[in-house]
Amino acid sequence: MGKPKVVLGVSGGIAAYKACELLRRLTESGHDVRVVPTDSALHFVGAATWSALSGNPVSTEVWDGVHEVPHVRIGQEADLVVVAPATADMLAKAAHGLADDLLTNTLLTARCPVVFAPAMHTEMWEHPATQENVATLRRRGALVIDPAVGRLTGVDTGKGRLPDPAEIFEVCRRVLARGTAGPDLAGRHVVVSAGGTREPLDPVRFLGNRSSGKQGYALARTAAARGARVTLIEANTGLPDPAGVDVVRVGTAVQLREAVLKAAPDADVVVMAAAVADFRPETYATGKIKKKDGQDPEPIVLVRNPDILAEIAADRPRPEQLVVGFAAETDDVLANGRAKLARKGCDLLVVNEVGERKTFGSEENEAVVLGADGSETAVPYGPKEALADTVWDLVAHRLG
Ligand code: CTP
């Protein structure tokens, strides 16, 4: 089998330079990349750069190498087309099926998955024309990654930035791996919590846990690549924002609860992958706690934190909403998991065994997903994103 064939479409925005980094990641990970820029893209990055980095010829026109019928062949042969950056004009052309250059022709002939990574000024992104074009493209099965929020060209900031190329690459990798399975979570809103809460004692100390957040991030990235709108509520992970995902940062269990309750009302699924502290110090010292010579330290008095998972499972804003929990267990893993599923009242519970060198911080995981309907799905030891995909398979099946 040859290398997977990727078409990298580049339209004319200042973020075109970031597509060089995406191109490098794609070629270095064994993809055969054909760059198809628009004429305006070449104002930002020249054809020589695209050609040298891809090792393939570069053209914007259907009139070059006509004997090879490039306007049809490039799209037909592709395993993936990714347009990054996609300007408002490009989204409009794609939504309306215009074909006045090589890239727009390629988009019409491609039958493989298509990913658009839009980048533009906030006003252009928010304009009803652009939003309707995005909705049209999504309805037809394309994956349109929401732009990131941040600094735009010049001094303004807002939604419209091209996400980090490394994260667009992550989306491409997952979409390619799914082949023709398509974005089965399109139109769904999923809320995922990730990381571990920290309960402060004073301005410098906290009670925390070993959760790295990697499983929650794998869930968020996988859901986004399957077309879902994703709200990721992260506690103390320090991980980069996944492309197209709305990230909410929290610190403590109480803040996490607030953020989950705020995001949950229109969610189809809430997945509680975060390790939430069951207790917090009763008092917070506004100044650093000092040791006093000759005195024993003051005991730390703890109070219970709310059980967010049990609360959202018991009090669903919509009866059809699905709630997924995680159970980290060190002993009697399955028996404890079954009891926890019943106690928390969730639809699915991902049970895994944890320990100092197991699961926490690692790239791999092994788990059993228990269903309230009595089902048990064993997920063998493997990458956290494989477990994430199994969770979304079970969720997609239940959403119908
Ligand atoms: N959880 C939660 N709120 C809490 C504690 C846990 O929402 N205050 C959620 C976690 O996000 C996870 C699930 O509950 O999805 C189970 O977490 P775990 O720590 O395994 O369970 P606990 O309820 O803390 O039970 P125990 O410590 O007794 O094992």
Q: What is the pLDDT of residues 184-201, one digit of tens each?
A: 999 999 999 999 999 999
Give 344 Cα–ligand 1 centroid separation in angstroms.
Answer: 9
Q: Using CA atoms, how far apart are residues 6 and 9, in angstroms rounded to an integer?
A: 9
| Of the candidates 56, 38, 43, the residue with the CA atom closest to the CA atom of residue 105 | 38
Nearest 5°: the CA angle 363, 367, 373 is: 145
Q: Is 209 in the active site?
A: yes
Name all domains of the chain by residue range, CATH numbers in brackets.
5-178 (3.40.50.1950), 189-399 (3.40.50.10300)
Q: Residue whose CA is closest, atom 14 of ligand 1?
A: 309
Which residue has tokens 């990054």?
84
Give the single-character DSSP code of 236.
S
Q: Is 196 in the pocket of ligand 1 (CB under 6 A)?
A: no
Give the single-character DSSP code of 300.
P
- pLDDT of 22 reads 98
Which residue has tokens 């189809």?
268
Give 327 Cα–ligand 1 centroid separation in angstroms.
Answer: 7
Nearest atom (ligand 1) to Cα of 336? 29
DSSP result, 145-169:
PPPEEEE-STT-EEEEEPPPHHHHH
Give 346 Cα–ligand 1 centroid separation in angstroms.
Answer: 12
Q: Which of 56, 105, 133, 209 is catalytic?
A: 209
- pLDDT of 356 reads 56
Give 374 Cα–ligand 1 centroid separation in angstroms.
Answer: 20
Say whether the peptide bond before residue 85 is cis (omega within 30 degrees of 0).
Answer: yes
Q: At what angle do helices 16-28 and 165-178 cross, to 10 degrees?
A: 50
Residue pair 168/22 in contact by the 8 Å Cβ criterion: yes
- pLDDT of 346 reads 97
User: Collapsing DSSP states into helix, strand and coil, what is residue 39?
Assistant: coil
- pLDDT of 400 reads 87
pLDDT digits (tens, 9 = 90+) for 198-245: 999 999 999 999 999 999 999 999 999 999 999 999 999 999 999 999
Q: Using CA atoms, how far apart are residues 161 and 14, in angstroms rounded to an integer?
A: 10
CB contact burial 225-254 (16+ within 10 A = b; e otherwise): bbbbbbbbbbbbbebebbbbbbbbebbbbb
Q: Which of 199, 219, 276, 324 to mutate to test the pocket of ligand 1 (most atoms within 8 A of CB)?
A: 276
Give 17 Cα–ligand 1 centroid separation in angstroms.
Answer: 44
Q: How far apart are the first and last CA of the chain?
A: 35
Contacts of 365 (CB under 8 A, 6+ apart): 215, 352, 359, 379, 381, 382, 383, 384, 387
Tell me which residues of the chain have a pLDDT lower than 50: none
pLDDT digits (tens, 9 = 90+) for 329-381: 888 888 999 999 999 999 999 998 776 556 567 788 889 999 999 999 999 99
Residue pair 162/119 in contact by the 8 Å Cβ criterion: yes
Q: Is 309 in the pocket of ligand 1 (CB under 6 A)?
A: yes
Q: Where are the beta strands (DSSP E) in the chain?
A: 5-10, 32-37, 80-86, 114-118, 143-144, 148-151, 157-161, 189-195, 199-202, 205-207, 229-235, 246-250, 269-272, 279-281, 302-304, 322-329, 348-353, 364-371, 376-383
Q: Is 308 in the pocket of ligand 1 (CB under 6 A)?
A: yes
Q: Using CA atoms, how far apart are residues 340 and 179, in angstroms rounded to an integer?
A: 36
Count other C-beta atoms under 10 Å from residue 43's C-beta. 13
Q: Residue 238, by phi and psi: left (phi above 0), alpha (psi -120 to 50) or beta? A: left
- pLDDT of 250 reads 98
Q: Is 253 in the pocket of ligand 1 (CB under 6 A)?
A: yes
Q: Which of 192, 271, 307, 334 to mutate to test the pocket of ligand 1 (most atoms within 8 A of CB)?
A: 307
Give 336 Cα–ligand 1 centroid separation in angstroms.
Answer: 12
Q: Using CA atoms, how far apart are residues 137 and 310, in angstroms rounded to an integer?
A: 38
Q: Which of 309, 344, 346 to mutate to test the pocket of ligand 1 (most atoms within 8 A of CB)?
A: 309
